[in-house]
Homo-oligomer: A and B are copies of this chain.
């Protein structure tokens, strides 16, 4: 039996408490599986006095996470505070500088500073692991970094924000408006303090940028993620999609193109019958496409105490067992810096627009599309009573550039009211 592996845990919210609970209840099992005792030396959080439902009396307390990270009786610094600047960053840097391995659930921090942190860790011979940062309890970082290590990855696709999927599922299933479903999610405590992190696609975009780095051997490039939230999706879109055999999901897609790395986080139509189309509620799903393995689909809880703590502890167990990989699967110094290719890959699109009910209006729209080189797969004008007719168009595969040109031409026709909504159709 080797020496015990000693943890310092910074952050005792839901996930931190979950980690403490696993270590307390499963000590024997963890030792049997890793060959080592996993112990907690010290913890840190904002409020020492708060009752968290677990016994912390056996652990040293630090008010300052940086002091925790520097403690001599800590082998692994477990960062569960969150935030992409400030204390979390300072503490991780201090941990690496004083020779600790790091386990973190902090997607925002790694999305912004992952390259620098990985470089520092590797220079110091330390590991930084982050299974819990992406898709909660699903071991997707491991599947990508290790399980598919011999694959050239063609594409990564995922639904990685459970709150957005909950909102879209409720609009679909219960016929709620976006505002109603948003309010319901809020009432259930599903939304971040800044809801735009969820519904604006930022949180999921952070996750996508981390998967991209591993999948394509590139430096994390969150700024290169094309971000579009779900706020523009209305109930009509959900219903139109349904009638055509699709569901709308906030979908992350990353793929290497001839023009650079394409990373998109945006609402997309996916076939109802596909695994992604069938995903309901707060569950997450990631699809990894390898040149040898083909399509691997992973599905599970994307958040919550147990699932996220499970992922944190998987990283801890790997360290206990002696697995030491570079943060993004290959040395950070070898990760390429590549151009970002916005919407480079052609796709069919769903278009919804409000047409003024004038003779020849439809012809003008069709003409604008034709002029931009966008061809029409289906076009439907809905029944209406007022002066505006809702029109839904599904295009053949086209580039986003051609589509934007067509939308620009719509404005000149004088028959389109307001901004058309364009949603990509992703075949997964």
Name A residues whose Cβ lies closer than 8 Å to a Cβ of B.
18, 22, 26, 29-30, 32-35, 131, 137-139, 142-143, 146-152, 217, 273, 275, 278, 290-301, 304, 306-307, 309-311, 313-314, 316-318, 321-325, 329-331, 334
A137 adjacent to B293 (CB under 8 Å): yes
Which residues of the other chain, B, contact A329 by a CB distance below 8 angstroms?
A: 33
CA distance A324 to B322 in the complex (A): 8
In the complex, the answer to whether A296 meets B292 with C-beta atoms within 8 Å is no
Q: How far is the CA of A356 from the CA of B114 in the complex (A)?
A: 72
Alpha-carbon distance A390/B12, docked complex (angstroms): 61
Q: Which of A138, A293, A316, A318 has the most CB of B within 10 A?
A: A293
Q: What's the least CB distance linking A127 to chain B, in Å? A: 12
A35 (CB) vs chain B CBs: closest residue:
B331
Q: A150-B313, A275-B299 are in contact. List 11 more A-B contacts (CB 8 A).
A: A29-B217, A137-B293, A138-B296, A139-B148, A139-B296, A150-B310, A151-B310, A291-B306, A292-B310, A294-B300, A322-B323
Q: Is the interface of A mostly helix, strand, loop or mixed?
A: mixed
CB contacts (< 8 Å) of A294 on chain B: these are 137, 300-301, 304, 306-307
Q: Which residue of B lies closest to A142 (CB)?
A: B147
A235 to B64, CA, bound (A): 67
CB atoms of B321 and A325 under 8 A apart: yes
Query: Who on chain B is nearest to A300 by CB?
Result: B296
Q: Is B301's CB under 8 angstroms from A298's CB?
A: no
* Contacting residue for A150 out of B26, B147, B325, CB 8 A: B26
In-complex Cβ contact of A306 among B292, B297, B304, B311 (8 A): B292
User: Which B residues lie within 8 Å of A321 (CB)?
Assistant: 146, 323, 325
9 A-B pairs with CB atoms under 8 Å apart are: A29-B217, A33-B329, A137-B294, A139-B296, A150-B310, A150-B313, A150-B314, A275-B278, A295-B301
Q: Name A143's contact: one of B32, B143, B297 (CB within 8 Å).
A: B143
> Which B residues lie within 8 Å of A151 (CB)?
310
A22 to chain B, nearest CB (A): 5
* Nearest CB in chain B: distance from A272 CB, A: 11
Q: In the bound complex, do residue B22 and residue A150 qualify as a contact, i.e. CB atoms below 8 Å apart?
A: yes
- A293, B299: Cβ atoms closer than 8 Å: no
Neighbouring B residues of A137 by C-beta, 8 Å: 290, 292-294, 296
Cβ contacts under 8 Å, A147 to chain B:
131, 139, 142-143, 311, 314
Minimum Cβ distance to chain B for residue A290 (Å): 6
Q: How far is the CB of A313 from chain B (nearest CB, A)?
A: 3
Measured between beta carbons, the chain B residues less than 8 angstroms from A296 are: 137-139, 298-300
